[in-house]
Amino acid sequence: MLAPEGRVIMISGANRGIGRAIALCLLDKGYSLSLGARDAAAIVIDGKAVMSHRYDATDAASNEAWVAATVARFGRIDGLVNNAGVALDAAIEDADEIAYDRMWEINVKGPLRMTRLALPHLRACGSGRIVNIASLSGKRILNDGAGYAMSKFAVMALSHATRRAGWDDGVRVTAICPGLVATDMTRNWTDVPRGDMIDPADLAELAATALALPNNAVVAELLVNSRYEPMF
């Protein structure tokens, strides 16, 4: 396992939900953290080895500024957790493509930009790690939410493409694909009790494991379900 001391991890969407849970977990394990959110002031995680910065997936300049600020503060980047995302209603027969476009911009192009910007630094350290928070909706279709599923299928493609591109330089990529997680995104979901959903803290432990595994023992995909899935 890779020791956390001295390793710097960037986490998008770190102000709440899965991103916040991952940040707290990694901080407890001894990592240095660069945390991004649209409202950096909303990130209430303190520590000498923690910095916060504005990250807006739709604003390429904010992505560049965040990476530059992270390198200026810590001198390196060892890992990237692409967590920020949105889930909007968008079915196949919807003529209005605004929701499709927004999910593509945030769920796909945001992680793509961050990956592109972080890759030189991840290559340089020889054991760079990327964790993409995808979804079981990126592996199968259970409802009419075509737009969300399409964006998460794209995240899976990005994960495997990045894994291929960075392999020879020690960059390893894991896509974590959870089912329903007890976060703000699922607060209006009524057919599954909150207590039966995945706890964000448990996903955080999986992300921490993915970041710590050595170059020769890497998990490309982690499918995490809280209820029976026919695909299994």
DSSP code, position 197: S
What is the C-alpha radius of gyration for the chain, rounded to an integer number of angstroms?
Answer: 17
| Interval 36-49: pLDDT, tens | 999 999 999 988 99
DSSP code, position 194: G
pTM strictly above 0.85 = yes
The pair of three-digit structure tokens given for residue 201, joined into one six-digit string: 């803290």
Average pLDDT over the chain, rounded to whole? 96
Residue 232 has pLDDT above 60, yes or no: no
User: What pLDDT was estimated at residue 195?
Assistant: 87
Strands 50-54 and 129-133, bridge-based pairing:
unpaired
| Interval 180-207: pLDDT, tens | 999 888 888 778 888 899 999 999 999 9
User: What pLDDT was estimated at residue 209?
Assistant: 98
* CATH 3.40.50.720 applies to domain 8-224: yes
- The 10 Å Cβ neighbour count of residue 64 is 13
Pairwise CA distance, residues 195 & 212, whole Å: 29
Tell me, what amino acid is at 77? I
Residues marked active site are found at 148
The pair of three-digit structure tokens given for residue 58, joined into one six-digit string: 């739709």
Looking at the DSSP bridge assignments, the partners of residue 80 are 10, 130
| Interval 75-85: pLDDT, tens | 999 999 999 99
Pairwise CA distance, residues 163 & 172, whole Å: 6
Per-domain boundaries in the chain: 8-224
